[in-house]
Amino acid sequence: MAGKGDKLPRKSSKSEVDAFIGKIRSTPVVKAGGDRGRLIFAMDATASREPTWDRACQIQGEMFRETATLGGLELQLCYYRGYGEFEASPWLSSADALLKRMTSVSCRGGFTQIEKVLRQAIRETKRKKVHAVVFVGDCMEEKVDRLCHLAGELGLLGVPVFVFHEGSEPGAQRAFRQIAGLTNGAYCSFDASSAAQLRDLLSAVAVYAAGGRAALQDFSRKSSELVRRLTHQLDKD
């Protein structure tokens, strides 16, 4: 829940994007012919996100569709809002089912509940391996030490958290960077004018998790220069 006096968000710099791509490069790859990749997609649905919520839903739907032909991604949608409200969907394998759930959600004022997101990821991966967590949010109103403790546990479980920070609120940025670092994930900031960048990076994470390098190479042929740079770096290994 952000205040009106917060600074305007800014785009990620080239160095930040390059660093993010470098982290994706080290994300574990799901073996061909093995189980589907499992991705938890968590979103802040508090009131401050309302202006960009619809666009975010569209972007996440596009991300999921990119993996459809791979036969390889299951996704669980989590979100928090209002007074202690936290929801986690069943595991979904259909973009239509995901979009139906996302578009039924409206934003409500309330404090952040990132702790619940991290605990959900821990519970799920103890049942069956979760390959990555994506979190999209704009602020943090919790005890950072507690969040970092849970992030460290996720790191030990081998579950990277990829944080997409809408805006540049300093306290949230510090916390989000620590969460990403402790889980061997990555942090990237975005604003309303960088939707295409966000879509490409989200899609790259999903495609890579679902199908590995070959799938990402194919995806890059129809995507942006940003994703082609990612593919080029992967080819160097």
Which band of pLDDT confidence, cut at 50, 70 and 90, is reported for residue 141?
very high
Place of tokens 């975010």: 56
Q: What is the pLDDT of residue 237?
A: 42
Which residue, among 221, 189, 230, has the nearest Cα to 27 in the 3D structure? Answer: 230
Contact status, residue 135 vs residue 164, Cβ threshold 8 Å: yes
Percent of the chain having pLDDT more than 90? 32
pLDDT of residue 83: 95
User: If residue 111 lies in a helix (H) or strand (E), which one and from where to where?
Assistant: none
Domain 14-25+33-235 matching CATH 3.40.50.410: the answer reads: yes
Cα 144 from Cα 45, distance rounded (Å) = 20
Q: How confident is the model at residue 74 (pLDDT cuts 50, 70, 90)?
A: confident
pLDDT over 80 (residue 72): no
Token pair for 58: 């569209």
Pair of tokens at residue 148: 């970092």
For the stretch 5-52, pLDDT in tens is 444 344 455 565 555 555 554 444 444 445 778 889 899 999 888 777
pLDDT of residue 28: 43
Separation CA 83–CA 110 (nearest Å): 6
| Whether residue 126 has pLDDT greater than 90 | yes
**Domain extents for the chain?**
14-25+33-235
Give the pLDDT score at 27: 46
User: Minimum mean pLDDT among 17-21, 99-103, 127-131, 197-201: which range?
Assistant: 17-21
Other CB atoms within a 10 A radius of the CB of residue 46 amount to: 25
In this model, does residue 99 exceed pLDDT 90?
no
Do β-strands 73-81 and 85-88 pair in parallel, antiparallel, or remain unpaired? antiparallel
Token representation of residue 150: 């849970």
Rounded distance between C-alpha atoms, residue 200 and residue 196, angstroms: 6
